[in-house]
Structure 1
Amino acid sequence: MLLTKLHIRGLRSSAIWRASKAESLLQKGDYFNSTLSKVVANGLINTEFSKTPSLVDRIKKMTEYYTTERLPLQGHMTLIAYEMLEKPENVTDNSMYQAEIIACAMELLQSYFLIMDDIEDGATSRHGKTCWHLLPDVKTLALNDSSIFRSTIHEILKQNFSGPLYTQLLDTFNDAYSQVAIGQHLDTLFSTSKDFSLFTQANYDNIVKYKCTYYTMRLPLMLAMILTNRADEESFKLAENLCREVGDLFQMKNDFMDCFDSESESGKSGTDIQEGKCTWLAVKSLERGTPEQRTTFTTCYGSWDQEHVDTIKNLYKDLDLIALYEEEQRIRYKIFMQKVQALPSNATPTPELFLKLLQMAQAGQ
């Protein structure tokens, strides 16, 4: 679903739409990846890691394996949000490089989550490659590797920022770890319990809130607001409210693609049915199904037997969940747009920024 022509015209008529320094940099092919490599290399200098060359090599390998193989969407969002929120006179080469460092840390954070998610879900592939934890020289070391990856993010922040700014950034990244960890706990709890009475809309919404919403758009916005000294409780609350709608849209699509595409948009092989995940499709199946269909669901869901997997997919089709998904996506998108249009022009974040980030997110899906 794309922005309406009216919204596009409105954006194009403003200076914000025109090519910015951040967008120009991002269009230069491997610019982001080369910056990321430099940020990681510099972040490891004079650390305990630097005393073990083999470990430095491993961190660089992890960075290349998990971070440079995908579109750095959240990193791009962070840069664009920074430039749109910052006063023009404050946007310098030095300030942009600081924003780039945060964008790189944002992408490393995403990689950390992906490594952990693949381990916990028993995934076999990501972005068309074998998952990190399945590589011959990794295996059980994957958990230690993920811990090292998280520490690398901390070192990068510590070496490049100081004072109250460093404290704010560190607190924000720590909040991200906590939020996603809660989401992962709920996700795993519901899928391993085999108690399908837990597959409710309320429980699903909680999974989305913690596991997806926080870093889909809200985290890039928060980081940009901190960098531009525009972070306050009212702005954070506004960002959280609107980003919740986007998080719902994203997770619904992720659930849908996991089932009806050979490899989901996340780049991970789809195994939600086999793992018994509490997904939007599963919740709606139990809500809409007849007693007989619910019995079919509870009998076959959470099984790796391909016949059972096919039965669940056919059940979703029989319940017309594809049409329901498309309708709910339209409704949620409309609600989001109405909330954005109702914002005052001087709101922080601005209506233009929300529209721009949503457009980027849609283009990256």
Structure 2
Amino acid sequence: MPPVSNATFNGSKRDRFNQAFTIIRQELLDEFAAQNVPEDAQNWYRRNIDYNVPGGKLNRGLSVVDSVQVIKGRALSDAEYLKAAVLGWSVEFLQAFFLVLDDVMDRSLTRRGQLCYYRVPEVGTISINDAVLIESSIYFLLKKHFRGEPYYVDLLELFHETTSKTGTGQLLDLLSAPEDSVDLSKISLAKFEQIALYKTSYYSFYLPVALAMLLCEVPTTYESKSIGQQIEAYTVAQSILLPIGQYFQAQDDFLDFSGTPEQIGKVGTDIVDNKCSWCINTALAAASEEQRAILDASYGRRDPDAEARVKAVFEAVGLREKYRIYEEEVYARINTLIQAVPDDEGPYLKKKIFTDFLDKIYKRQK
């Protein structure tokens, strides 16, 4: 492998990003080996990374690189690309950390078309410690590549704050879905939106853009020459990206119900897990007394027949059409927010940052 300073990146967007992963992965393995841990532990750490980090769609990580290019308004040099890719892969490591733990808590079966990591032979509850190692990898990478940058502490704080918010969202999710007590009167669309905000919006949507803004040294506040107003850059970014994240979670919930394992890469478990999802809350608002009784008796039961009865009610209340209407409405609302963003020259916000995010998920099927 060439020295990092001489690394070049060629090919498609995904190819270049994966080339950066090869460099990052080797840095992590070398650092782990330098701690003089036994060879079997080194091999385990390597398998942990390879199984959990690179197998997804990579949208979060690639969005960091894309956002940096949009803000700079040009193609990146190889050195600039590596820095952006390190931040992008750090988001993917954070995603892997969350997913490994989430699958244990939800007792999920498959993830990204393969067995959930905790279900792999010989792994089991070791997966919890492996998740900690995945998370710690982020802070090694940040220190190695950004220790001398003026925004290094900002990067650390952003990752810590995002992790805290996501953990809060996971707590809200778990408390709303106790395994031994199903009470649909205790859930609501407002609770769903709060869970989605904390569990999904911050790390999946705001984090990648905020990282790109920090890397490009976008100021917290700047004067927009095109509209003659002060722009609170990070506040504006949140005001658009957090609603996109809530839309994404509603979409994810709908695909959990409507998608096949081959299509979405996992077995949908929201119904049997008693999740406070967009689907159940929307169905409850439209259900007749008879349909409500079926949902009360069947939701959150680990029973295929009960799950089938819930899905039948979802179909009967027209959940597919309700989702279609919801998606069009939320897409229009977010686009209105995006159009208010001025496109000033310089290291500032641009509309394209947000339209790229929205276009990636609009009407997605997996």
After TM superposition, the score normalised by the length of structure 1 is 0.87
| 2:299 equivalent among 298, 301, 308 | 301
Q: Which runs of 5 or more structure 1 residues have no equivalent in the other structure?
A: 1-23
Task: Identify the residue that residue 328 of structure 1 maps to in structure 2.
Answer: 326
Q: Larger deviation: 111-120 or 44-53?
A: 44-53
Moved over 6 A (4+): none
| 2:129 equivalent among 144, 155, 158 | 144
Instruction: Please list the CA deviations of residues 197-249 of structure 1 after superposition, one character each: whole Å capped at 9, or x if unmatched.
Output: 22111111100101111122211100000000115262111111111221122
Task: Identify the residue that residue 159 of structure 1 maps to in structure 2.
Answer: 144
Instruction: Please list the CA deviations of residues 17-40 of structure 1 after superposition, one character each: whole Å capped at 9, or x if unmatched.
Output: xxxxxxx85616643223213212
Is contact 2:163–2:203 with CA below 8 Å preserved after alignment? Answer: no
Task: Identify the residue that residue 221 of structure 1 maps to in structure 2.
Answer: 209
Q: CA deviation at 1:73?
A: 0.7
CA spacing shift, 1:291–1:25, aligned 2, 3 Å: farther
For these two proteins, the number of residue pairs brought into alignment is: 341
Provide the aligned C-alpha RMSD in A.
Answer: 2.2
| 2:91 equivalent among 106, 110, 114 | 106
> In the alignment, is residue 208 of structure 1 matched against residue 196 of structure 2?
yes
Is contact 1:74–1:217 with CA below 8 Å preserved after alignment? Answer: yes
| 1:85 equivalent among 49, 57, 71 | 71
Task: Identify the residue that residue 14 of structure 1 maps to in structure 2.
Answer: none
**What is the distance in 2 between the residues matched to 1:235 and 1:197?**
40
Q: Could you say what secondary structure the match of 1:55 adopts?
A: helix
Task: Please identify which structure carries the higher helix content.
Answer: 1
Q: Could you say what secondary structure the match of 2:175 adopts?
A: helix
Is contact 2:256–2:268 with CA below 8 Å preserved after alignment? Answer: yes
AA in 2 matched with 1:306: P
Superposition pairs of residues 1-365 of structure 1, within 5 angstroms: 25=10, 27=12, 30-46=15-31, 50-52=35-37, 53-86=39-72, 88=74, 91-163=76-148, 164-192=150-178, 193-232=181-220, 234-263=232-261, 267-346=265-344, 348-362=348-362, 365=366
After TM superposition, the score normalised by the length of structure 2 is 0.87
Q: Larger deviation: 242-251 or 332-341?
A: 242-251
**What is the distance in 2 between the residues matched to 1:364 and 1:62?**
28
Q: Which runs of 5 or more structure 2 residues have no equivalent in the other structure?
A: 1-8, 222-231
CA spacing shift, 1:117–1:295, aligned 2, 3 Å: same
Task: Identify the residue that residue 225 of structure 2 maps to in structure 1.
Answer: none
**What is the distance in 2 between the residues matched to 1:138 and 1:145?**
9
Q: CA deviation at 1:344?
A: 2.2
Q: Could you say what secondary structure the match of 1:175 adopts?
A: helix
Q: CA deviation at 1:266?
A: 5.6
Q: Percent identity, aligned pairs only?
A: 26
Task: Identify the residue that residue 8 of structure 1 maps to in structure 2.
Answer: none
**What is the distance in 2 between the residues matched to 1:49 and 1:305?**
49
Instruction: Please list the CA deviations of residues 83-118 of structure 1 after superposition, one character each: whole Å capped at 9, or x if unmatched.
Output: 1112659x4321221111111111111111111111
**What is the distance in 2 between the residues matched to 1:31 and 1:352?**
21
